[in-house]
Structure 1
Amino acid sequence: MTGGHAPAALLARYATGVELPADAVWAVEAHLEGCADCRSRLGEIAYTRSPAVVSIVDNVWAAIAPAVHAQVPSRRRRWPALLRWAAPAALPWLAMTVLIPLTAMLLDLAAGVAGPPRPSVLLVIAPVVPMLGVAASWTRYLDPVHELVAGTPRAGLGLALRRTLAALIVVMPPLALAGAVVGAAPVRWLLPSLVFAASALALGAFVGVGRAAAAVTVGWVCAVVAPSLIWSRLPAALDPGSSTPAWAACAAIAVGALFLQRGAFQRPASHR
């Protein structure tokens, strides 16, 4: 290209179908996309030197002109932010996650009728239930386009947090409603659940959010859930009076670690 435009001789050879090197064809076509002057010159050359090409173009345009000029009403689909943020393939997993507190609520109601009081199953599993939704929002196994998403400029901690929020909005209301039915008030499990969600994200920056959530869940079940159900005793970790300062400190540590590792969510390892 000379002077910012294609040479007249090159445009003439291109318009008349003279064979050109592949790189020259690519350069001309790339230039024509952004240069209105050269497109106009190409049209003038084609009209004078390639009447057959002009005839074909005119016939094609006559065929498609009615459709091009037709007034088609614009129908832009505006999805709620929740649906735009969430990973579509994770919605079935989130629905299954919602069934967990509902099943635990039924177990608590059945236990209250059938036998002596014991710690609420819903209460002891509630802290880890939201974390399962978080895991579903940022794992390659539930998002078939995770490679495309991870390669976009907006991928990273911001996208992970938006997906996390979408998952929590889906999971939290049924969990709170089920807790209200059996007496497991959110004040007893909300802070631990937020700690676990932040911890899964922070640890997931290294080993993958799904793996981190699985590890935290197994640890909580072995250390808290199983002993409390076996010994019919409420764990001290869910006593708001004595455990709140410890959970608050853990929350600060988890959020700080997550902030320090914010760049790791642009690496494939966080999608495991």
Structure 2
Amino acid sequence: MAAPKTSMWRRVFVQIDCAFWCIHDHLDVLGWLALPTLATLITSGVLIVQIWRNWDIPVGLNVLLGWLVIPFLALMVFTVLPLPCAVFAWKLADGETASVGECFAWCGRKFWRLAIVLFKLSFFFLGSLLLMGLPLLAIWPRSCLAPLVVLFEKDRRVFRRTQKLIREDMSVTLMGMLYLCMGLVLGGFVALPRLLVATPALGSHLLDSEWRRVIGEYLWIFETFTIAALLTAVAVAWWISLTLVYHDIRAVREGEDLRRRIAAYRAKASV
């Protein structure tokens, strides 16, 4: 009797749940692996805020930065820097626990292949942003596994291999939308302190005017660090979820797990 087919939503929620438990159980290692992402986001956030606070930027340049440059750099950061966390998740799915150095070394050995693929992806990101991001919504699910193919396979036709892997790209799209909504909701909570300070109906009148001025002046520091931490957590969880999906496709649908068991059985039988 055939096993009941698992719904797409259930598969998505299972992968997200596994990603959060992975972070919870291995926070000591993943914290170090996520440090480059966190440091880059904090540095970039502080730099952007200081430029906008202290420089008189023309409106046209302001629009260009907010519409094209900053989203492009953010896409590149979220695509590149969390990859050591993906290596850790891959090793963990194989029953191994990799160290921080091993994960970074793995990415280092694949540096040139990653650089070529990321160079090609950068043109796709840039073109999509020029077209208001619409191509990104359509093509992104078929290309998001490309860095994982580079890390864990030797196939030179990376993008063709990615499209072959993602037959049911809707599940990846749903997972991406859930992570995007999660980030927006958490980001909304970061804006609450500024809303409280600026709205008398919410109790800001209880504070002295000097305290309100001081809080309003330095609240950007809290917001920058908090948003950077939240974005890092979402990025790490996303790449772990995507790696688990990729590992599941290769192990179950493509039969790698079965082949390993058969090889182990033959090796045991030949002894």
TM-score normalised by the chain length of structure 1: 0.31
The structure in which a higher percent of residues are helix is 2
* TM-score w.r.t. length of structure 2: 0.31
